[in-house]
Amino acid sequence: MHKNTDIPLISEQYYHIYNCGNNGENLFFEERNYQHFLKLYIKHIYPVTNTYAYCLMKNHFHILVRMKPLEELESFKNIPDLYFRQFSHLFNAYTKAINKAYDRKGSLFQKNFKRKLIDSDDYFVHLISYIHRNPQKHGFTDDYKNYPYSFYQTIYQQKNSCIDNKQIMGWFGDLNSFVKYHEKFDEVKIQYLTSF
């Protein structure tokens, strides 16, 4: 059985990817850090994945992605470990920016980001709710619906973005079902789904 730090990233598969600050440190110190991380995410990760949910919190983050088919990635042809490499680029670029801005040295993220393969529709839709509700669970906000560094508001307000809202609505049925699914979230169920 794979540990969740050595699961391979494979074309057309869905993954829950997450990580936290090294030694419990914060990853984000002020508003501009979140914006810079998302800018780097669009540069390094958006070209090679479809993103369905994200949430950035002070000391950790969660994202839900599908690796794009290799045949769609002409400009990345014949690059070994392509998906893993792109995530490494993201984390290294962000760490360099933070180290420079705050006069720090060394790693910022825990070594070897964690990932879990999403192997069912049930897991997928429940994980979207889990990711969006995470800041409230950890006390970063009183209401996950208003948290500024997740994708919940973008979906709820049906704003244009780099994430395909229509595909997400396809899993939930409509916006009302999306909202209700978040409200009836089952913490026990997500623990069961992620325990394999």
| Residue range 66-90, pLDDT digits in tens | 999 998 888 887 787 899 999 999 9
- Its pTM stands at 0.88
Distances (CA, A) of 52 to 2, 123, 171: 24, 13, 11
Q: Is the pLDDT reported for residue 108 higher than 70? A: yes
Ramachandran angles phi, psi of 114, nearest 5°: -90, 150
In a domain, 51, yes or no: yes
Domain range for 54:
14-193
Q: Is the pLDDT reported for residue 111 higher than 90? A: no
The C-alpha atoms of residue 104 and residue 121 are separated, in whole angstroms, by: 42
Query: Other CB atoms closer than 10 Å to residue 109's CB: what's the count?
Result: 19
Going by pLDDT thresholds of 50, 70 and 90, the confidence category of residue 33 is very high
Asked whether the beta carbons of 34 and 145 are under 8 A apart, the reply is no
In a domain, 120, yes or no: yes
Distances (CA, A) of 97 to 25, 55, 133: 16, 20, 28
Q: How many domains does the chain have?
A: 1
Looking up residue 34, the CATH number of its domain turns out to be 3.30.70.1290
Residue the block writes with tokens 């070594």: 111
In a domain, 151, yes or no: yes
Going by pLDDT thresholds of 50, 70 and 90, the confidence category of residue 164 is low
Q: Looking at residue 163, what is its pLDDT? A: 64
Q: Looking at residue 2, what is its pLDDT? A: 47
The C-alpha atoms of residue 183 and residue 26 are separated, in whole angstroms, by: 28
In a domain, 158, yes or no: yes
What lies within 8 Å, CB to CB, of 164 at 6+ separation is 50, 52
What pLDDT, in 10s, does the model give residues 112-154? 899 999 988 888 888 999 999 999 999 999 999 999 999 887 7
Rounded to an integer, what is the distance from CA 96 to the centroid of its chain? 20
Asked whether the beta carbons of 7 and 116 are under 8 A apart, the reply is yes
In a domain, 97, yes or no: yes
Residues 60-86 as b or e (16 or more Cβ within 10 Å = b): bbbbbbbbbebeebeeeeeeeebbeeb
What percent of the chain has a predicted confidence (pLDDT) above 70? 86
What lies within 8 Å, CB to CB, of 190 at 6+ separation is 126, 127, 129, 130
In a domain, 7, yes or no: no
